[in-house]
Amino acid sequence: MPRTAKNKRTEVAVTIDISVEAGDWPSEEALGTLAAHAVEAAVAEALGRAAQPVELSLLFTDDAHIRVLNAEWRGKDKPTNVLSFPAFPTKIGAPLPPMLGDIVLAFETVKSEAELEGKPFEHHISHLMVHGLLHLIGHDHETDVEAEVMEALERRALARLAIPDPYA
């Protein structure tokens, strides 16, 4: 069921398409609500300008599927928590394309990380959606400077959702 996150400050409307492929995820309705809030918070922190409406796809799957994707696209034959696949190359500050791309989350990895870190599962899902969206709009964490910028945006977006700093 597509959801729309609309941020009044930046006037960015993001249509979110959610698919649950595998894993014991919360309901699509609950995931849609988490996604709308996470996207709205990330957009509020990362984009300080108006843009045309954009689309985003979220796939909730399992470790087996994300392992295949991680091996194929990143050359890492292991599961990971989240992958982002931009539909078009995007640079920070450039106009957004009409389709941002796909964010894929893996149930077992996300669940075990939340448990190991002692945080609510829904908080970790929200954090990873914010993280994935920032990648889709051009942010990265390959260098220390990039990581500092991206993590600061994540912290501020999550603070809007009353989610504690995941890097503390």
Does 10 score more than 50 pLDDT?
no
* CB atoms near residue 32 (< 10 Å): 20
User: How many domains in the chain?
Assistant: 1
Sign of CA dihedral 16, 57, 87, 38: positive
Residue 168 forms part of a structural domain: no
Residue 102 forms part of a structural domain: yes
Q: How large a percentage of the chain has pLDDT more than 70?
A: 90
Measured between alpha carbons, how far is 84 from 74 in angstroms, rounded to an integer? 11
Average pLDDT over residues 121-135: 96
For residue 48, the model assigns a pLDDT of 58
Residue 94 forms part of a structural domain: yes
Residue 18 forms part of a structural domain: yes
* Arithmetic mean of pLDDT over the chain: 89
For residue 49, the model assigns a pLDDT of 54
Average pLDDT over residues 141-154: 91
For residue 9, the model assigns a pLDDT of 43
For residue 53, the model assigns a pLDDT of 84
Average pLDDT over residues 55-71: 96
Residue 167 forms part of a structural domain: no
Domain housing 66:
3-160
Calculate ∠ Cα 54-50-135, nearest 5°.
50
Residue 148 forms part of a structural domain: yes
Residue 137 forms part of a structural domain: yes
Query: 144-160 vs 121-136: helix axis angle to the nearest 10?
Result: 130
CATH number at residue 14: 3.40.390.30
Residue 165 forms part of a structural domain: no
Does 50 score more than 80 pLDDT?
no
For residue 71, the model assigns a pLDDT of 96
